[in-house]
Structure 1
């Protein structure tokens, strides 16, 4: 990931990742609750907090799916880094929201007070910023350690894997955001570690991580496929499923338009309407949403099977149907296309022509 582009667009990415995720989670959950109160969904054992909990987990965007699609269609670099960065940080925000609402569900809707709500808001920032700080500290540690490994090149990849994973474990032990910790650990130490270690070690780390990421994603989707044909977990509610698909699509598009309108007042490089269309199609759900819904306690969330069934349908809809629909929006470069493996500085970040 190009660090220069990432930090150059960090404000934009954070707005989409934090405000956008909270917007999607809140609007989806509250809209579903409003429809439920109208009686359109029938009899369900769900309260407001359950809907907000579901809204928080269904707002998780899968960065692996987004990365795969955007690399294939060769979008311009600015749009790529904004959408990929948003999907990357979106997962961390989603997990924090999920934990907050899960704790509220555990307390019970009648027992949640204003003080608990304030604590939830404070914990959101503490967990997010704390996880980021842990990641930066371990990035500094990893950068420092790799300065003294030139005589022991064979164990350099081991240091990279162990110290990076320690940032994740440390955040978990401190009840902070482990995703943010390992993300910012990688972002902050990438440039320095790459300069310190040998080319062979860098190649080992790169391809080992690709193998592990691909394997983990395959295992998650394998479990998702098994769940899709498991009759024991299927609970069908037509209104709930269809309205979830409608709300997540409409509110993501609406949130993108509103936030982009604000950002374009301050950005030097404007985000054009077609960019906003592509960003709206970039809200692909995947492994994170499925993993979170499976972790729900059915003793606390009575309609867990309905949530699982709906999440599976949402994942299949966004990853298959939405990607297929978005293919006509792929860019047609005016000049040389940027290969996905090429260094960033060899190609200008110019805007290609778009075909709808």
Structure 2
């Protein structure tokens, strides 16, 4: 239970953070036509300024208003962003270039994974950093092979360069999903003694995770379309249709997490299927509502993340961890991997 002072502190922090979100949206609106500034950069800048103010007022004790947990990001913020990406994607461009996207996103990630893993083995051994096993090096390769295309997509325009935007966007999503699947596959095997049998099992597990995650998203999207089309018997309700689409999308994400699949890949393909089948089975008012509702949830989640990243960049405690890792890299590297 929270004490009275803790409850007041949480309420004040939430109010300030919501006010900062509103500020980011208003300022980003006025800078919308500026090619050098957008909502993401605006949120980062406001977060940095806010972090500096908090550092000065707390005399260097803290730079953020609230604690950012892993569950907050993966359970509440990431799903609407990835789902909306699949829901709003231009499907003709995406599937027309699907093989190219898979070549860059999946095969390219595997090549990057191999190069980084072998490079980490060579560099760490030269630095004489011990207590790391082969699974740790592969985990490093999986983590660093994940690239983020957010900044690139902010520069590109989907209407002016549809092909380039589709390739970069598709590669970014498939790359993230491939890296997550790789990391999960690495964690599920004892790679201290690699042989041909373990290598084949690893490849099979990777393919199984990738295909299962995709199929789960497709099935969730098709099930939502079937329920709305067949079980309503002509009696449509905008509230129920919108609620069902949101809940089915979120259910697909949480089921993927429950079965240790790639939730990113699942909810992305669920969004694609829903936009192609479910969206056309609902009323016109539901189409307008879902389109704007999903875009709004994704927009707020993105602004939230960039705002917090700007504030978190000045976190004294994290900089202390970095300085300690420079003093004792073996202990902290092993700790980060665990």
Give the TM-score normalised by the residue count of structure 2: 0.63
Is the aligned partner of 1:89 residue 2:174?
A: yes
**Is the 1:32–1:51 contact (alpha carbons within 8 Å) kept by the matching residues of 2?**
yes
Q: Decide whether the 8 Å contact of 1:171 with 1:178 is kept in 2.
A: yes
Q: How far is the alpha carbon of 1:81 from its aligned partner?
A: 0.6
Aligned residue in 1 for 2:118:
30
- Please give the alpha-carbon distance, in whole angstroms, between the structure 2 residues aligned to 1:51 and 1:75: 41
1:302 aligns with 2:305: no
The residue aligned with 2:216 is 134
TM-score under structure 1 length normalisation: 0.60
Once the two structures are superposed, residues 218-271 of structure 1 have per-residue CA deviations (whole angstroms, 9 ceiling, x without a partner) of 444455442653233214889xxxxxxxxxxxxxxxxxxxxxxxxxxxxxxxxx
3-state SS in 1 of match to 2:322: coil
1:161 is displaced (CA, Å) by 0.5
CA contact 2:325–2:333 (8 Å) conserved in 1: no
Question: Which residue of 2 is the match for residue 183 of structure 1?
Answer: 268
* Residue in 2 that maps onto 1:55: 141
| 1:61, distance to aligned residue in structure 2 (A) | 2.6
Q: How is 1:2-81 mapped onto 2 (pairs within 5 angstroms)?
A: 2-37=90-125, 39=126, 41=127, 43=129, 45-71=131-157, 76-81=161-166
> Residues 66 and 87 of structure 1 are in contact (CA less than 8 Å); yes or no, is this contact kept in structure 2?
no
The 1:110/1:51 distance shift into structure 2, 3 A limit, reads closer
When residues 20 and 162 of structure 1 are mapped into structure 2, their CA distance, relative to the original with a 3 A threshold, is: same
Does the CA-based 8 Å contact 1:46-1:303 persist in structure 2? no
CA distance in 1, matches of 2:212, 2:247: 20
- Contact 1:9 1:82 survives alignment (8 Å): yes
**1:157-306 counterparts in 2 under 5 A?**
157-222=242-307, 224-225=309-310, 226=312, 229=315, 230-235=318-323, 302=334, 304=336
Looking at structure 2, the residues matched to 114 and 227 of structure 1 have their Cα atoms a distance apart, in angstroms, of 44
Of the two, which has the highest radius of gyration? 2
User: What is the SS of the residue equivalent to 1:35?
Assistant: helix
Q: C-alpha root-mean-square deviation of aligned residues, in Å? A: 3.1
Q: Give the Å deviation of 1:112.
A: 4.7
What is the DSSP-based 3-state SS (H/G/I as helix, E as strand, rest coil) of the residue aligned with 1:190?
helix
